Every structure is written in structure tokens, then in C-alpha cells.
Amino acid sequence: MRAAHPSYHNAPVAPFGDAKAPLLIVGLAPGAHGANATGRPFTGDHAGLILYSTLHAAGLASQPVSLARGDGLTLRNCRISNAVKCLPPANKPTTREIDTCNPYLAAELARSPEVRVILALGAIAHRAVLRALALKLNVYGFAHGRVHRLPDGRALVDSYHCSRYNTQTRRLTATMFSQVVYRARDLTLE
């Protein structure tokens, strides 16, 4: 990717948003022409269009669109990260990549006691969060809209990923996604 697109970020993508936010959104990995290009999670790709417009409607983002790092977008009371920090081959992370990046997610969660709610976008992000917290995967099954109460007092909220595939097949509709984002936001206020 670096040779074909030397102007892209082409490096690990750091979390975006307030480090002391009560809501952490965990996605899958940087998109080839989104976060890998811009260096900011969910910026410049289809999933970002849906995520940021929903966050804006919920009062969690200053604007509904994020096209580039310097576009003025700020997040309120939330932060966005990924289970995998670098662009995976074929835009689909391997188990090895997910496992290799998991200590970074674990460290992020350990230094974020203010996070009360974690919104996992997709089953891979869901499992990565559980591994990062050293929790058993079979105890907390993934299901869109499910809320898991974790032993540390946090809530883990599951959503299908807002990818083009899920939205075009209508596995995830705008209404379904809004409902889960609003639920996660409201849980931070409890």
C-alpha cells in the first residue's frame, strides 16, 4: 500500500477523541483508503460516514462528516479506537494480527478507568475487548444490541460493524445503528 500511495499515513492509527471519555468505541481495523490514508479512525471511508453522522446526531461529535485529520471534527464524551492498529492485508485482519495488537487495546483500557461503556463494532472487536480484559469469550456472546455487564462495572455494548457490506445488505440499518449508539451514550450517564 505504501508504494502505491506514498502520501497516505501508512502507519499504526492512534485512538481519536478525549482520553478521559466515558465511552470508547472499538472498531475493527483501519480502512485501506480511510484511516490508513488519513491517520484517524473511521475518517474518509464509508463506515466513517455512518459512524460520524450518527455520533453527531447523538451529540457526541461536533460535525457529521470526517474527511481528513485537520477538518475540525472533535468528539464529546467518546473516543474511537480499533482492535487492529494497522491496515491488514486484503483489508481483513488475520488472527495473528488481532492477537499481536491486543496488548495495545489492553493497555488503552487499563489506562482508561473513566471508560464506563465500550461499544464494540462487530464480533472481532467484541472478542478483542474481552481478550484485552482477560474475560472468557464463551461467557459474553456477541449479538447486535446486546449489553453485557462486565465484572469491572463497565458495560460492553455490541453492534454490527457499520461497514459498507453490512449497510448495503441491510444487516445493519441506520435506525438499528442509531439505537445502539444512543443506548451506549445513555449508559454512560447511569
Instruction: Tell me how far apart the alpha carbons of residues 106 and 120 are, in angstroms, rounded to a whole number.
Output: 14
Mean pLDDT over 151-166 rounds to 96
Instruction: Tell me how far apart the alpha carbons of residues 93 and 15 are, in angstroms, rounded to a whole number.
Output: 18
Mean pLDDT over 177-187 rounds to 98
Distance of CA 94 to the CA centre of its chain: 17
Q: What are phi and psi of 31, to 5 degrees?
A: -75, 150
Mean pLDDT over 24-50 rounds to 93
What pLDDT is attached to residue 129? 98
The grid coordinates listed for 59 are 451529540
Q: Is the pLDDT assigned to residue 5 strictly greater than 90?
A: no
What pLDDT is attached to residue 62? 98
**CATH architecture of the domain with range 16-187:** 3-Layer(aba) Sandwich (3.40)
Mean pLDDT over 132-156 rounds to 97
The grid coordinates listed for 45 are 471511508
The grid coordinates listed for 43 are 475518517
Report the length, in residues, of the chain.
190
Q: Is the pLDDT assigned to residue 33 strictly greater than 90?
A: no
What pLDDT is attached to residue 21? 98
- The residue with cell 468528539 is 75
Q: What is the mean pLDDT of the chain?
A: 94
- Nearest alpha-carbon partner for 118 in 110, 109, 151: 109
